[in-house]
Amino acid sequence: MRRLRISFYTGFLLLFIAVAISSCDRDKTSYKISGQLENVSGHYFYMSRESGDSVIIDTVPVNDKGEFTFKGVVDTLTEVSLYFNQNTKSTYILVDKGLDIELKGDVLFPDLIEVKGGDVNNDLTSFKNKNKDLLKTRADILNMAQKGIINSDSLVVKDYVVELKNINFELSNIAAAYIKSNPDKIASVMLMNTFFKDESSIPRLDEGLAMLKGKAVDFYITADLRHFRDKVKMSAVNSMAPNFVLEDTKGKKVQFSDYRGKYVLLTFVATTCEICRDEKAEAVKTYNELKKQKQNIEFITIIKDIEEVPVSSYTSDSIKWAVLPVTGGWAAKQFDAYNIREIPYNILISPTGLILERDIPLEAVGKKMEDLTKGSQK
């Protein structure tokens, strides 16, 4: 009996040690986010992060004082996006195993939320604090614009757009200087992802990526930025337009390369887009005027969201050019190949297949064709 009792206690002790070790291992792989936020509407916000090919979304409860605590598990340093107030406000943080992260601030000014915990979060918060006035002004403009849209106020949109553009340009200059001074910091990668991830900033993105050193080079978002840069360049001005073969609304096969020798206005729309339907009349008018002038141009429309609303809701007898339906929404191959991020979106392509201009307004196509015709005659 004594031998059995010793064996029992020994087994219990080993089990206790195993549980303690297991708990310790979980602590090493988990992270904690807590804090207090102002102006959170509702009693929760969302957190999302990518894991392989999946997106993981967590709901984080918030009490009446704006306080919250959340624990999660990750394998490595990972970007997490936070969405507040019915997804109208957002920011991001970096989580990693073993990190204890604290947030404090006003969700109406998400770029100014202080994030403490981990080198990257601390570096980014320092950048925010040094540029607090600019970030606050930008947030004020965005908040006023959003409020005006909700209340249907008559805003002087141009004033907002110009001021916002100037602020973003100044912030991008400051970010570029930071990246140059801190090429080995992952915070530099995150600033590139924030300020240089658009078509007009590709030269700056190129410069920034070339400067990176050490752990910043191997960070996974650096690879994402390289992929984004390369994809944009494939459909940039002066690049050869990606070829495609699609069936039109009548079942006829349309191959883009068959349009060689003509200018092409390639338009991207959606059956669910009201603005696209509103602009259809302008497109028909522009097309008919160009044909009367015997301009060497054809139109092609690529239309998505046909799974939700039938393509027949967009097409009509007045449209005399090819309308090509695609499935998959924004992920449709042609939308991805041409890096389309908004609609309606027009691209003018030369007779040799070169992209001449992106995001050209319909009202500017006639004048552009006149200039091109005069240029070719000279």
CATH number at 258 reads 3.40.30.10
Give the pLDDT mean for 290-303: 96
Whether 224 and 249 share a structural domain: no
Whether 249 and 372 share a structural domain: yes
Residues 146-172: pLDDT tens digits?
Answer: 775 544 444 444 567 788 889 999 999
Which of the listed residues 205, 234, 263 is the one where a domain comes to its end? 234
What is the reported pLDDT for 256? 96
One-letter amino acid for residue 373 of the chain: T
Which of the listed residues 196, 215, 234 is the one where a domain comes to its end? 234
Closest residue by Cα to residue 327 from 308, 302, 304, 300: 304
Number of domains observed in the structure of the chain: 2
| Confidence band, pLDDT 50/70/90 cuts, at residue 317 | confident
| Confidence band, pLDDT 50/70/90 cuts, at residue 10 | low
> Domain for residue 222, yes or no?
yes
Tell me the pTM.
Answer: 0.76
pLDDT at 339 exceeding the cut of 50: yes
What is the reported pLDDT for 161? 75
Place of tokens 């919250």: 68
> Domain for residue 189, yes or no?
yes
Q: What is the DSSP string of 51-118?
A: ETTEEEEEEEE--TTSEEEEEEE-SS-EEEEEEETTTTEEEEEEE-TT-EEEEEEETTSGGG-EEESS
State what percent of residues in the chain have pLDDT above 70.
88
Tokens at 134, concatenated? 């600019």
State what percent of residues in the chain have pLDDT above 90.
78
Whether 250 and 212 share a structural domain: no
SS3 content of the chain, % helix, strand, coil (to 5): 45, 25, 30
Place of tokens 């990972």: 78
Whether 283 and 212 share a structural domain: no
Whether 216 and 260 share a structural domain: no
Give the pLDDT mean for 19-33: 63
> Domain for residue 124, yes or no?
no
Place of tokens 């459909």: 235
Q: What is the DSSP string of 266-284?
A: EEEEETT-HHHHHHHHHHH
> Domain for residue 22, yes or no?
no
Return all residues near 246 (Cβ < 8 A) that are at least 6 apart: 253, 254, 302, 324, 325, 326, 334
Whether 201 and 259 share a structural domain: no
Higher pLDDT, 160 or 74: 74
Which of the listed residues 173, 203, 234 is the one where a domain comes to its end? 234
Whether 200 and 285 share a structural domain: no
Whether 226 and 261 share a structural domain: no
Residues 232-243: pLDDT tens digits?
Answer: 999 999 999 999
pLDDT at 282 exceeding the cut of 90: yes
| Confidence band, pLDDT 50/70/90 cuts, at residue 3 | very low
Residues 322-338: pLDDT tens digits?
Answer: 999 999 999 999 999 99
Give the pLDDT mean for 351-374: 94
> Domain for residue 258, yes or no?
yes
> Domain for residue 42, yes or no?
no
Residues 194-226: pLDDT tens digits?
Answer: 999 988 899 999 999 999 999 999 999 999 999
Whether 210 and 254 share a structural domain: no
pLDDT at 299 exceeding the cut of 50: yes
Whether 289 and 357 share a structural domain: yes
Whether 289 and 212 share a structural domain: no
What is the reported pLDDT for 138? 92
Rounded to 5°, angle at Cα 55 from 99 and 112: 50
What is the reported pLDDT for 375? 65
Boundaries of domain holding 252: 245-377
Whether 230 and 251 share a structural domain: no
